[in-house]
Each structure stands twice: as C-alpha cells, then as structure tokens.
Amino acid sequence: MIVVCGIASERPIALVIDALRRRGLPYAVLHQRHFTDTPIDIRVDGTDVRGHLRCDGLTVACSDVTGIYTRLMDWRLLPEARGADQETLRHCQAWHQALGTWIEIAPGRVMNRASATATNRSKPYQAQLIRRAGFRVPETLVTDDPDRALAFRDRHGRVVYKSISSVRSIVRLLDDEAAARLPRIRSCPVQFQRYVTGVNIRVHVVAGEVLATRIETDQVDYRYAGRYGGRADLTPWTPPRELARRCADLAGGLGLALAGIDLVLTDDGEFYCFEVNPSPAYSFYEDHTAQPISDAIARALAGR
C-alpha cells in the first residue's frame, strides 16, 4: 500500500495519483485538508510501528504501507485554519505532528522524510554539503556590510541576491536600483552570489533514476519568466553518465529518494550546482516536456 499525503488537487500530487492509478498500484490519499475526518492512531512499541490511518473512508494498516509520497503544506496556512477556533487549530496541529512523526519512523520508501528535506532550509548550509559532494557552487557571500557586497559585485561584474532560507526564494540581479537599497541589509544579512550564466538544467533524481530537463531562458530566474514577460523553453536532456551518477550520489547522500537538482552548464562546459530541492514541483517540467517523472515516482514508491 502506498500513502500519498497532501492536497490531492495540487498538481505534483495529482500526477502521482494518476500514475499510481494507471499502474494499478494500491494507494490511499491522506487529504491534509480533511484532518477533522481522518483520525490517526498509531502505537510505537520499541522499533515496531503499528496502527491505522483512515484515508478516504479506507482503513489503512501502517504495517501494510510500503511507500509514502508526502507534500504537506504548512498547516497554519490551510484554508481550514484561517479563522478557526482554538480547538480546531490545536487538533490540526496535533494531527500534523502525529502524521509527521509517523512519516519519520515509518519503514519503507518515503519521498521524503523531514530529516532529509531540511537541508534546504539554509541555502549556504546546503551549498557546503553540495560542494563536499564534488559539485562546483557559485562563489557566495552572505553579509550585512554594504561595502563588502559592492566589492563582491565589483569583482564579479554581475551578482544575484536571494534569500538565505527557503522563504521568499526569488533570485534577482543586484542592479543599481537594488544596490541603492544595500544600506538596509544592516539588520538582516543577505546572500549574494556570482551570476553564473549558461543553460539551466533541472535534474530530477527518483530513487537513483535520473531525468533531466534543459531550460533556455532570457530571465535570471526561469521559474518566474512568465511573470516578468520572459520566456522559458524546456526540453528533455540526457546528461553525461558521470554527471548523472554524481546527481544520484548527491541525492542519495542527502537521504533524498526524490530530489530536484538545479544546475547550470556554462559556456566553457562547467556544471555548477545551485540547489537541491527536496520537495520538487516536478509537474512544471513534466507538463512542459512529457517526461515520465510521476511514473518514475510511482514505480519507486512500489519498489519497482
């Protein structure tokens, strides 16, 4: 039995559900927004984890679960939490805590456990792990000193800035307009990075299987190309075998059964790794290229 946790209509989850259905794999959906009708009762006895979940009217024994795909949103942002009374909020919190704990200790393949996804909370922290795995990372400066930031830009010519954490994570060029606001970084340091130009590559690693997409864009952050009137053309791409192996090793080393790795291939043939996304919105790439990422996820969850 495979359990899918999150909001069923969200595109990445909907695609996984479709893929499981097409393959005839047994699955149940644990609707995050249905927490009031979805009791959790699990007993942890030593290393033994037993109990039941109610999913869509179906009772699922934890001992039957062999795979979990989870893409839970912050419970505090659920529509059901907006304006809810205190008791509902406490129940919602307790439900998510119980579910999150079960996901951490459940045997079988989990995409992904919180303990593995957390590296993305700090980009420079994760960059240190990425570099240790043998990838180049763009030279990075995190500072609250406007003069240092300007010196960094003077040296590299073009520099981007972005959040240090995973919150408000949009990449922008440090142009003159942004540079004029640098005195504001005094109370909250900002991350600056050498702007590495080239072709964007998104590599999805699904339990060791590698599916790569090439993105041509005229924007700094191709994910928001549409918002800023730019273009982003996505095509399937076959990575060199050595690069594919390193990507699989990187994801495996971070404990991620599913990962979206952001690379840039520079004009002189160097690969730089920007980030490993532990909860990738892979549907964006699948929808544009028809690459069978959700099918790979379904197969991996079934252990095939």
Partner 1 sequence: MWLVLCDAEDRAAHWAAAGLRERGLDPLELVDAGTLTRTERSTHRIEEERGRGEDRTEPEPSGDDAADGDRAGFELTLPDGRDLASDAVHGVVNRLTFAPLHHLRFASYADTAYAMAEWDALVLSWLQCLAPVTVNRPSPLGLSGTLRSPAEWTVLAAAAGLAVSPLRLTDDIPDEPPTDRSPARTLVVLGDDVYGVHDGESLDGLSPACLRLARSAEADLLGIRLEPDAHARHGARFAGATLLPDLRIAGAAMLDGLHAYLTRLPARSR
For binding to partner 1 (CB under 8 A), which residues are involved?
35, 38-47, 49, 51, 87, 90-91, 94-95, 97-99, 101-102, 104-105, 114-115, 118-125, 127-128, 131-132, 136-145, 148, 151-152, 155, 163-168, 187-189, 194
Q: Which residues partner with 209 through β-bridges?
A: 206
Whether residue 298 contacts residue 23, with contact meaning beta carbons closer than 8 Å, is answered with yes
Least distance to partner 1, CB of residue 90, Å: 5
Whether residue 264 contacts residue 201, with contact meaning beta carbons closer than 8 Å, is answered with yes
Least distance to partner 1, CB of residue 114, Å: 7
Least distance to partner 1, CB of residue 148, Å: 6
CA 276, CA 263: separation in Å to the nearest integer? 9
Whole-Å CA distances, 183 to 63, 110, 163, 179: 56, 44, 17, 9
Whether residue 4 contacts residue 27, with contact meaning beta carbons closer than 8 Å, is answered with yes
Whole-Å CA distances, 78 to 5, 73, 87, 252: 14, 8, 15, 31
Least distance to partner 1, CB of residue 216, Å: 24
Quick one: 111 or 137, whose CB is closer to partner 1?
A: 137
CA 304, CA 74: separation in Å to the nearest integer? 31
Quick one: 21 or 61, whose CB is closer to partner 1?
A: 61
Least distance to partner 1, CB of residue 168, Å: 6
Quick one: 106 or 298, whose CB is closer to partner 1?
A: 106
Position 58: which residue type? L
Quick one: 35 or 285, whose CB is closer to partner 1?
A: 35
Whether residue 185 contacts residue 149, with contact meaning beta carbons closer than 8 Å, is answered with yes
Least distance to partner 1, CB of residue 222, Å: 22
Least distance to partner 1, CB of residue 59, Å: 15
CA–chain centroid gap for 288, Å, is 18
Quote the tokens at residue 191.
């991350």
Quick one: 53 or 248, whose CB is closer to partner 1?
A: 53
Quick one: 25 or 114, whose CB is closer to partner 1?
A: 114
Least distance to partner 1, CB of residue 17, Å: 23
Strand 48-55 to 40-45 pairing: antiparallel
Q: CA 233, 238, 242, 246: dihedral to nearest 10 degrees?
A: 50
Q: Which of 110, 106, 117, 120 is nearest to 257 (CA)?
A: 110
Q: Which residues partner with 55 through β-bridges?
A: 58
Quote the tokens at residue 222.
């191709």
Quick one: 66 or 101, whose CB is closer to partner 1?
A: 101
Quick one: 166 or 200, whose CB is closer to partner 1?
A: 166
